[in-house]
Amino acid sequence: MDFTLATYEKLLAALEKNGYTFQPFEEFVSNKNAGKAVVLRHDVDRIPGNALKMARIEHGRGIKASYYFRVVPHVWNEEIIKKIVALGHEVAYHYEDLAISRGDREKAIEHFGEQLKRFRQFYPSKTICMHGSPMAKWDNRQLWEHYNYQDYGIIAEPYFDIDYSRVFYITDTGRAWNNSSISVRDKVESGFDIPIDSTFHLIQLLEHKQLPDQIMINTHPHRWFAPGAYWYRELILQNLKNVVKSVLVKAKG
């Protein structure tokens, strides 16, 4: 079965076996000689308990990853954040301030600064990452057309500060890999055309040395469960969401 925690661990093992080092995003962007490296970027949109499960799996293999948390009530969980930090991972802000503030830029930047302070109680966050807010009309990245996140001690944002002609970007948005037809905003201008049918196919590509030396893998922990009722529920819910998202993508296209 795909999108299980066991399958995720198989992916980690394949990356290790094929010589990739694991670097948190903040480390990767600061390292001019990153070499053969992968950034595990986790966007914690829902079910923060799943993020902790993934963080523990990674820690058990000596891997450090990056976890970007939304601050909405059903996601913000200080106890889980502290536990993930204690496991050695990067924790930072999955921002959606423009959507939360309904397009009011002044309220949005004030909200951004306040939330950044909350994160820095637990971790010295130096990076941020946009939440796509697919059902909102506001693109949260547009906040930076009027402000500069570097003024807040932020060194990088993955949608602005990565050369994707060199770094292969992979995302599980929509419970599929790099399916642009159901991704409203989680997409980049990639220099690679490498279709991925499943996590098992991704592992095969690694085994056959068919992937670039530098990769960012974006996962959403709420999609990854042990087999059972929650796994099937997520499958059904995501398929329903994908119908709506495909309409939105076509409308924007």
The full set of domain ranges for the chain reads 5-252
Asked if pLDDT for residue 246 goes beyond 70, the answer is: no
* Cα–Cα dist 64/126, whole Å: 16
Is 42 within 8 Å of 92 (Cβ atoms)? no
Give me the mean pLDDT over the 57-81 stretch: 98
At the second CATH level, the architecture of 5-252 is Alpha-Beta Barrel (3.20)
245-249 own/partner pairs: CB under 8 Å, 24+ apart: 245/134, 245/174, 245/182, 245/183, 245/184, 246/181, 246/182, 248/134, 248/135, 248/184, 249/180, 249/181, 249/182, 249/183, 249/184
Among candidates 29, 30, 44, 39, which has minimal Cα distance to 83? 44
* Cα–Cα dist 82/104, whole Å: 31
User: Binning pLDDT at 50, 70 and 90, where does residue 28 land?
Assistant: very high
If you ran DSSP here, which 8-state letter would residue 84 be given? H
Which position has the token pair 């602005």? 160
Is 160 within 8 Å of 154 (Cβ atoms)? no
List phi, psi (to 5°) of 219: -120, 160
Give me the mean pLDDT over the 64-68 stretch: 99
Question: Which pLDDT does position 134 carry in this prediction?
Answer: 80
* Cα–Cα dist 132/172, whole Å: 13
Which residue blocks in 145-227 are alpha helix, DSSP H? 199-207
* Cα–Cα dist 87/66, whole Å: 11
pLDDT, tens digit (0-9, with 9 covering 90-100), for 200-244: 999 999 999 999 999 999 999 999 998 888 778 887 787 777 565
Asked if pLDDT for residue 182 goes beyond 50, the answer is: no
Mean pLDDT of the chain: 92
Among candidates 195, 233, 229, 217, which has minimal Cα distance to 58? 217
- Which range of 4-18, 23-37, 184-198 scores highest in mean pLDDT? It is 4-18
Asked if pLDDT for residue 53 goes beyond 80, the answer is: yes
Which position has the token pair 């009722």? 229
